[in-house]
Every structure is written in C-alpha cells, then in structure tokens.
Amino acid sequence: MMDASKYSIGYYAPPVNEYRWVKKDHIEKAPIWCSVDLRDGNQSLVIPMSLSEKLKFYQLLLEIGFKEIEVGFPAASETEYEFLRTIIENDMIPSDVTVQVLTQCRDHIIRKTFEAVKGAPRAIIHFYNSTSVAQREQVFKKSKEEIKQIAVEGAKLVKKLSEEYEGNFLFEYSPESFTGTEPEYALEVCNAVLDVMQPTIDRPMIINLPVTVEMSMPHIYANQIEYCSDRLHYRDAVILSTHPHNDRGTGVADTELALLAGAQRVECCLFGNGERTGNVDAITLAMNMYSHGVDPKLDFSNMPHICEVYEEVTRMNVSCRQPYAGSLVFAAFSGSHQDAIAKGMNYREENHLHKWNVPYLPIDPHDVSREYDADVIRINSQSGKGGIGYILEKSYGYVMPAKMREDFGYRVKDVSDKSHAELKPDEIYSIFKEEYLNVSRPVEVLEAHFVQGDEIEAHVIARFGNQVHQIYDKGNGRLDAVSNALKQMLPNSFSLETYSEHSLDDGSHSRAASYVGIICEDGHRAWGAGEDTDIIRAGIKALVSAINNQ
C-alpha cells in the first residue's frame, strides 16, 4: 500500500525570491545547445552504442546543427576514449563545433581526460562533484567545507593541466545534484571555483546548475536559477547552463522557466533520452520556440530521418505521441477536428497566408517533413465527412458536393468500423470508385445524341439489364433531357436534384469530374460520380451512377 508519509519536500528554496522571470511570457532567442546524447544519453541505454553507432549518431547531431557536443567520459570507458580519439585523429570535428568531455573532480581522472582530449581543435573540460545534502551526508560523509574543497582542488588541477597541455580549452563546472543542495551553498561552491578559474569575457566559463534529480515544481528551479544568476562572480564572463532531468515529468518546463530566469545554455538529449525518466528533450524545447516564431538554431526539418537514425543506433523507440516527432502527433481522427483542419487549410490556400494559424495544428507538419494526407487527416470509424472529403480532394482531386461528402463519409466509416482498421488514402479512393464512380450496372448509357431547339432533344441508346433500348425525350439541358429519357425505361421514377462538375487536370485533354444527386420515389437521395475527358459524357455517367445506386 502506498504511504505518502514517508516523503517530504527535498529541495531548498533560495533565501531570496525576486520573481523577475514571471513577467516574461516567452523565450525570445535560442540558447546555446549542448547535446549530451553520446554521454549521458548513451550511459542510460540497455546496450550502449558501439563505436560505429556513436559515429553515426555524431554525424546526425552535426547535421541537426549542434555546435557543442558532449562526446563522453573518456577516462571511465574504453569505448568513449576510442570514440574521442577517432574523431580527433580523423579530423571529424568541424571548425565551428566544440566537443565536451566529462570528468569527476578526482586527480587521476582529470589527468586521463586531458590525455584523451589531446589534439582536439577546441574542447570543453566539464568537471563536477556532488554537493547535495543527501550526498554529503550519506555518500561522502564530508562537511560543506570539505565538499567545496574538492571542487576547488579540481579547478586548480584543471587550470594547471590546461596550461601544460597543448589545446584550446574551455571549462565547465557542475555542482551535481544541485536541486538537492541549498542554493546559497551551491552558489558559494561555484564562486569558489570561479575565483580559481578567473574567466574573462573573451574566455568565459560555463557554470552548469543541473536538475540531476527533479525534486520541485518548475517555478522553484527558476527561482534557484535567478538567485544564482544574480550572485555569481564574473557574471559577464559566465555562461549559465542548465541540465534538467525529467523525474517529475516537467523537464521541459524546468528548462523553459530557467531560460526566462537567466540561463543561457541547455544540455539536452534527442527525444529526452537519459537516465531514469530521461534528460530534457531537445526537440520539444527547440520546436516550442519555433512555434513562437523564434529560430531555435537547430534543424529538425527531416524529422522522419532523425527518428529512423535514433531508433537504429539507440534501440529505443520514438513514442507515437512524442511531441513534434511522433507518428500520431499531427493526426486527427475526430470528425470535428478533421473538418476544422480541412477548412483551415483551404482558408490558408484561398487567402495566400504566410502566417500559420490552422486549428488543432500548432505548427505546419510540412516543416518537419510530415504529409497532410498521411500524417494529419487519418481516417477511421470516428472520422467525419470533412476529413474524408479532404483526403479525396487533396490526394485525388475529387471535390464532392457537401451532401455527397456526408453520404460518402458514412460509407467509409462503415468500412473502417467493420474492419476495425484505419483506412489509407488509396483505400478511401477504392471505396469512392466502387460505390460512386462510373457505375454501369444495371443501367448503362451506350450513346447519346442531341438536337438543339427550344428545348434540347436527346436520342439515347441505353442498356437496362440485358435489354438495349432506344429512347427519346426533351429537357431544358442535355443532362435533363437524358434524365427524362431514362425515366421512360425505368420502373421507378426519380428527380434530378444536384449537379456539379470540375476539371481534374490541366490542358486540352483534361479529365472532367461530375457529381449527380437524385431524389428517388421513396424520398431517399442517391449519389453518383462520373469521369470522362468529355464534360457531357462525365455528367451522363454521374447520372447513371446515381440511378444505379438507388
């Protein structure tokens, strides 16, 4: 049985809350992005990536546009050491990309890290030690002063070795388990490290305040970030970074509010991969900014390819509901949603709009290489006439009258309901052809000739069952004349109610599509569609199809 009494608040609010960040309503520019997929993300996999898999993922991160990539913990893993040496020795680090390596504040690990990164054109040495109350008391059994001294000694060694080794080094320090640390103490430790490193505006240092374990609501983290941002030494020479995990499921919110509160950099993973519930999701963060009109400086335009590579090298699955990337995130099965989307799309086209404002779609699916017919309007037994008609129009060019769309919608939904399956566009088209288009049994018009007078006279040769009939009649137009003639041959009367037509193609040999609705003797409505290169023949075929559907 669950027992909530064993739990209590484990975070520490800052001694001063300014709440300036609350007055901001959105993020105005992209942060510095650092992918930690190859280190933090990789160490969380059931089967860590091989060298070739890491290389493939690394190339994907470069394609997306990451300029800082944490490539591993080279002192702790032979595979990570080998990967780092491979990209250095094979000149695989672009001039505008900085690799990052992680090390604990321990003498021999720091020394091995500098050996591993030797020859890199530009590298961030990311050193850390844990500062939380739980870690101090339970793991290290050390006082605040002793824990701070670990960080200071680590900083001194990093600075010393950076002067001894050839290379272009930048530095990052993290008080690991920051969210379980008193903010004023974490600030004290960070400032002690900064006093050793003495960053300048030309050579800034990264101070990373991680959500190693998510322990609070996001606004608490924002307060902690704002408090530290206001009080860090050398603030103009500090890049304030955040590294949120997702234990409470609010990693994205933590990061967004932290950016409002003064953070300038984000360490993240594609699709939120990472330990336990994961790291913060780079895609969701970047695309959230994009949806507000902010260029995130990362390119997710080929989302299907990104998903494919990610799933291949990590053996993880992208959830079908993963924001922006999942296979169903733009999908609308509901009839009312489909109708609104279809009308919004048409409104956008008719008015030549640049700004995006389509109901139910926060961004244009085309921006991430998703297709409207395959990824947005999805047809099953819950779908409506608007969505079904939209698929037929956009995929095949048929624009049915409104009442015919309703009739067709019921037929499509019935098929989906009985098969318990989603219907693809080609299956919808097959139903349309079978049920409405050029239906020629039991009635078929073989020939129709017309004489112009006060009224149009039609000479019709038609087959009804196995009998061929020659029939004559007049009407106020060609289709009306054919309709009147056919009534002579048929046992049940009908009245012509609806007719519409349009071209399916451009050019002199374009196909015409016609739609006819008739009212039968018992009062029900029947529909038919006709297609032909001749508009008159297309109309007659539509009329005959409707008659055959009585």
Dihedral, CA of residue 279, residue 284, residue 285 and residue 287, to nearest 10: 160
Assess contact for 220 and 11: CB atoms under 8 A: yes
In the predicted model, is pLDDT for residue 381 greater than 80?
A: no
Q: Of 354, 425, 412, 347, which is closest to residue 382 (Cα–Cα)?
A: 412
pLDDT band, very low/low/confident/very high, at 334 (cuts 50, 70, 90): confident
Give residue-wise pLDDT tens across range 312-329. 999 999 999 999 999 999
Give residue-wise pLDDT tens across range 210-247. 999 999 999 999 999 999 999 999 999 999 999 999 99
pLDDT band, very low/low/confident/very high, at 382 (cuts 50, 70, 90): confident
In the predicted model, is pLDDT for residue 17 greater than 80?
A: yes
Assess contact for 62 and 71: CB atoms under 8 A: no
Q: Distance between CA 101 and CA 181 in Å, rounded?
A: 24
pLDDT (mean) for 132-157: 97
Strand partners, 266: 33, 242
For tokens 């546009």, name the residue.
65
Tokens standing for residue 57: 């993922």
pLDDT at 394: 86
DSSP per residue, 452-518: ESSSEEEEEEEEETTEEEEEEEEESSHHHHHHHHHHHH-SS-EEEEEEEEEESS-STT--EEEEEEE
Query: Which residue type does 416 have?
Result: S
pLDDT band, very low/low/confident/very high, at 117 (cuts 50, 70, 90): very high
Q: 431: Cβ–Cβ under 8 A, 6 or more apart, which residues?
A: 408, 411, 412, 415, 423
pLDDT at 417: 86
pLDDT (mean) for 480-489: 95
Give residue-wise pLDDT tens across range 453-473. 889 999 999 999 899 999 999
In the predicted model, is pLDDT for residue 371 greater than 90?
A: no
Tokens standing for residue 326: 């999942």
pLDDT (mean) for 81-104: 96
DSSP 8-state assignment for residue 367: G
Helix (H) or strand (E) holding 172: strand 169-176
Give residue-wise pLDDT tens across range 409-427. 899 989 988 888 888 899 9
pLDDT (mean) for 8-21: 95
Instruction: Enter the pTM of the model.
Output: 0.84
Give residue-wise pLDDT tens across range 490-547. 998 999 999 999 999 887 678 999 999 999 999 999 999 999 999 999 999 999 999 9
Q: What is the mean pLDDT of the chain?
A: 94
In the predicted model, is pLDDT for residue 310 greater than 90?
A: yes
pLDDT at 447: 96
pLDDT at 15: 95
pLDDT band, very low/low/confident/very high, at 479 (cuts 50, 70, 90): very high
pLDDT at 335: 77
Strand partners, 298: none
Q: How far is CA 16 from CA 70, 183, 215, in A?
A: 33, 10, 19
DSSP per residue, 70-108: EEE-TTT-HHHHHHHHHHHHTT-S-TT-EEEEEEES-HH
Give residue-wise pLDDT tens across range 165-193. 988 999 999 999 999 999 999 999 999 99
